Amino acid sequence: METILITGGAGFIGSHLTRLFVNKYPNYKIVNLDALTYAGNLNNLRDIENAPNYQFVKGDITDMEFVKNLFATHHFSGVLHCAAESHVDRSIADPLAFVRTNVIGTVSLLQAAKEHWKENMEGKLFYHISTDEVYGSLGDEGFFTEETAYDPRSPYSASKASSDHFVRAYHHTYHLPVKISNCSNNYGPFHFPEKLIPLCIHNIINKKPLPIYGKGENVRDWLFVEDHVRAIDTIYHKGKIGETYNIGGHNEWTNIALVKELCHQMDQKLGREAGESEQLITYVKDRAGHDLRYAIDATKLKEELGWMPSLQFEEGLSKTIDWYLNNSEWLANVTSGDYQKYYTSLYGA
């Protein structure tokens, strides 16, 4: 039985990835290493926590001795590296936390993998999950391809770009077998409500203001999280060693258009009058250094590996809203305590 390490498996994307691998591959043992920061939540994995091929380990990827011991115990043949500090606004407030986890944490994992696999790298794989934000910001035209030069502009994207560079450096210098994917904005169940879509769902339910940064004209390219983890599965098993793959759904929305669509769907689902939730839209101070537009060209993934997104955005958004409406306990749980302090510090009362 192969043993695969997933880092950050208690987070948003990591929990979907862990669920997919545990259910689809009973012959893999999946070890989920997560520090359970504010963003990590074992309630995201209740349905698989007792699966015979799953094990959770609480620990910090920046603790290299700990990570090396974990490799020595489990003899991983693969790593799916998802753990990160992931929120741009938090990176503006505290860049060093992002350097620590995203850069030092990634290098500590790379080092442990290199040392553990040094006698035989055959059949091994270090898969690094990254973001389209490393490419910087687009104007009104064009798309990010795998050849686009890196131009990160926030402490978050700079830390992710740095981690991507380290992954490639370990491949070129030590022949570590690696793959990288850079994905656009994800949405779906278990998304922490500091990010735009779940934050607005939470605030619409509670009739609280919907904070739109600047004029709401920034554009993001949204992909349903289950389509992202299907792409990771495809790349993990079929992609070429040493390669990078962009993942995205050709689904661009300005923030204001997206939030209006959310209001429209939620008014219908909550039995409110048409236009009621749009009244909650509130323009607030812009994010510092706010990237204007992200848009991914995923042709390579489609043509070489046959991956396509499965859902139209309106359908994915509807499924996502339904999930939040049916999981009010999950939402109440993650929006208590520290979340309240964070929310007040960013948006006021």
Query: Which are the catalytic amino acids?
Result: 132-133, 156
The distance of closest approach from Cβ of residue 79 to ligand NAD in the complex, given in angstroms and rounded to an integer, is: 13
Residue 258 touches which member of ligand NAD, ligand DAU, none, C-beta under 5-8 Å by kind: none
**Residue 14 interacts with ligand NAD (CB under 6 A)?**
yes
Other beta carbons within 10 Å of 4? 23
Partners of residue 224 on adjacent β-strands: 187
Residue 317 touches which member of ligand DAU, ligand NAD, none, C-beta under 5-8 Å by kind: none
Kindly provide the b/e burial profile for residues 82-111, where b requires at least 16 CB atoms within 10 angstroms of the residue's own CB: bbbbbbbbbbbeebeebbbbbbbbbbbbbb
CB 183 within 8 A of CB 228: yes
Burial of 139 (0-12, 13-18, 19+ CB in 10 A): exposed
User: Could you give the CA distance from residue 280 to residue 196 in angstroms, rounded to a whole number?
Assistant: 14
* Contacts of ligand DAU in 96-115 (CB under 6 A): none
**Residue 161 interacts with ligand NAD (CB under 6 A)?**
no
Give the tokens for residue 168: 């490639």
Residue 136 touches which member of ligand DAU, ligand NAD, none, C-beta under 5-8 Å by kind: none
From residue 278 to residue 297, what is the string marking binding to ligand DAU with x (rule CB under 6 A)? ---------x------x---
The distance of closest approach from Cβ of residue 175 to ligand DAU in the complex, given in angstroms and rounded to an integer, is: 28
Burial of 179 (0-12, 13-18, 19+ CB in 10 A): buried
| Minimum CB distance to ligand NAD smaller for 117 or for 127 | 127
Question: C-alpha angle with apex 88: 20 to 136, nearest 5 degrees?
Answer: 95
First to last CA, the chain: 52
The distance of closest approach from Cβ of residue 42 to ligand NAD in the complex, given in angstroms and rounded to an integer, is: 9
CB 186 within 8 A of CB 311: no
| Minimum CB distance to ligand DAU smaller for 177 or for 188 | 188
Q: Which of 195, 208, 264, 272 binds ligand DAU (CB under 6 A)?
A: 195
**Residue 164 interacts with ligand DAU (CB under 6 A)?**
no
Residues in binding contact with ligand NAD, number by CB under 6 A: 30
From residue 121 to residue 160, what is the string marking binding to ligand NAD with x (rule CB under 6 A)? --------x-x----------------------------x
**Residue 184 interacts with ligand DAU (CB under 6 A)?**
yes
Helix (H) / strand (E) element for 211: namely strand 210-213
**Residue 218 interacts with ligand DAU (CB under 6 A)?**
yes
Mark the segment that binds ligand DAU (CB under 6 A) among 31-39, 66-74, 121-129, 131-139.
131-139
Q: Which of 35, 88, 232, 262 binds ligand DAU (CB under 6 A)?
A: 88
From residue 310 to residue 339, what is the string marking binding to ligand NAD with x (rule CB under 6 A)? ------------------------------
CB 85 within 8 A of CB 106: no
The distance of closest approach from Cβ of residue 26 to ligand NAD in the complex, given in angstroms and rounded to an integer, is: 24
CB 198 within 8 A of CB 192: yes
Helix (H) / strand (E) element for 338: namely helix 338-347
Compute φ and ψ for 220, nearest 5 degrees: -125, 155
Residue 218 touches which member of ligand NAD, ligand DAU, none, C-beta under 5-8 Å by kind: ligand DAU
**Residue 178 interacts with ligand DAU (CB under 6 A)?**
no
**Residue 83 interacts with ligand NAD (CB under 6 A)?**
yes
Mark the segment that binds ligand NAD (CB under 6 A) among 57-65, 172-180, 196-204, 280-288.
57-65
CA 59 vs. chain centroid, Å, equals 19
> Angle between the 313-326 and 255-269 helix axes, to the nearest 10 degrees?
50
| DSSP-assigned letter for residue 210 | E
